[in-house]
Every structure is written in C-alpha cells, then in structure tokens.
Amino acid sequence: MERKRITDFLEGLKRFAYKALVVVAVSSVVSFIFSKGLLRLLLQRVGIKVYYLSLPEVLFSSVELSIYAGVFFALPVIIYLIWHEFRSATGLKTSHGYLFIFSSIVLFYVGSIFCYMVVLPSGIKFLIDFGSGNNIMAMISVERFVIFCSSMVFAFGITFEIPVVLLLLSRMGIVKAKTLTKTRRFAILFIAIASAIITPTPDVYNMMLLAVPMYILYEIGILLMKIVEKKDEKENIIAG
C-alpha cells in the first residue's frame, strides 16, 4: 500500500512537472516579446541606469528576465496544477481547495507588488548611497540587475504565502496551532534571521519591511488554524 502511494505521488509529480514546464515555456516566450518593456518598468521604478559589459549580455539578460516573468505570470496555472495533482494528499474539500488556490495567488502577487513598489527602490537606493563617495561610482550590469530584482520579487512573493502554508500543514495534520503558539519566540527569531538574509541591505528599516509583514502573516496563519481546528472539533463531536 505504501509503495503504491509513493508510485502515485511520483506519477503525479511527473505529470505536474511536464504540464508546468509547458505552461512556463509558453509564458516565457510571450514574455520575451515584452522583455524590453519589463526591464524598462524595473529601471523606472528604482530610478537607476544599468550597463552591459559584454556584447551578448543584453540578449542573455532578456532571456533570463523572460524566464522569471514566465514563471511569474504562469503562477496561477502552476498553483492550480499543484492542487489538481496532489489534492488527495492535502485532505481539503473541493471548495476549500479553490479557496486555497485563490488565496495563494493573491498573497504571492501582493508580496511581489509590495517588493516592487516599496522594497526594491529603498533597498537599491540604500546600497547605491552606501557605495558612493570617495570617487566611487556604481556601474551596475544589466544581468546582475535582472537577477537581483527578480530574486527579490520572488522571495517576497513566496514569503507572503505563510498563512496558506500554515493552514495547509494544519489540515494535513503535520502541525497544530497550539504548537506554533508555544514556539512563537523561535518563530520570531527565525523571521528576524530570514529577513536579514532575504532583504538586500543590512539596515533595520529594510529588514523591518519584510519582518513585520512576515510576523503579521504568521499570526494570521495561527488564527486561521485555530478557527479551522475548532470547527473540525465541533464536527467530530457532532459526528460522534
């Protein structure tokens, strides 16, 4: 029985990987057409100039940006595919599953937009101001700029998924709200460390831009877990 479950999981993973790659590939090709416009949006937001240090760098950077954008815009389909292939393992009802899909998509894009609108401009400005002076000028390559911005946007988008992840773990019986409440101080320490690693600058202001939302989302996740667990207890009592 256990072997069959592992086999089914691997088959589902294979189907998901194939479908996700096809969706991302199509999305990346479309994104490549608008890659110059996407790069222009990033540059306008942070207000800097970038340079290319080798002849093919702009082309390679456009391809890299297109792949990042392909994953970014294909994310709703990817999340749906995850639910479609692995819903039996989550133990969620169909209605709850669609709510999970919707919440995951919204939270990812909220985190990404927050990074694009607030974190990237302030973080890059801090780094440039810190590095300027003593006849030092920033000459940022377009490739490094694309990788830096894309990584930050995805990091914030994924981080904002905390409530959904916690609720899903609770539904699967892996962790309970009581456990997370007791270990809150360790969670705060983890959030502080994660914020220091993810944010582009070591200053407290930019760290707090991630740490505060992360902690709020963590508490929201615990609250949702408590509500769902109480509801399940009542249903079990009535059923019993």
Check whether 117 has a pLDDT greater than 60: yes
pLDDT tens digits, 124-143? 888 887 766 667 777 889 99
DSSP notation for the chain: -HHHHHHHHHHHHHHHHHHHHHHHHHHHHHHHHTHHHHHHHHHHHHT---B-SSTTHHHHHHHHHHHHHHHHHHHHHHHHHHHHHHHHHHT--HHHHHHHHHHHHHHHHHHHHHIIIIIHHHHHHHHHHHH-BTTB----BHHHHHHHHHHHHHHHHHHTTHHHHHHHHHHTTS--HHHHHHTHHHHHHHHHHHHHHHSSS-SHHHHHHHHHHHHHHHHHHHHHHHHHHHHHHHHHHHH-
Domain ranges of the chain: 1-155, 161-240
- 213 or 8: which leads in pLDDT: 213
pTM above 0.85, yes or no: yes
- 3 or 113: which leads in pLDDT: 113
Average pLDDT over residues 182-209: 82
The per-residue pLDDT for 75 is 95
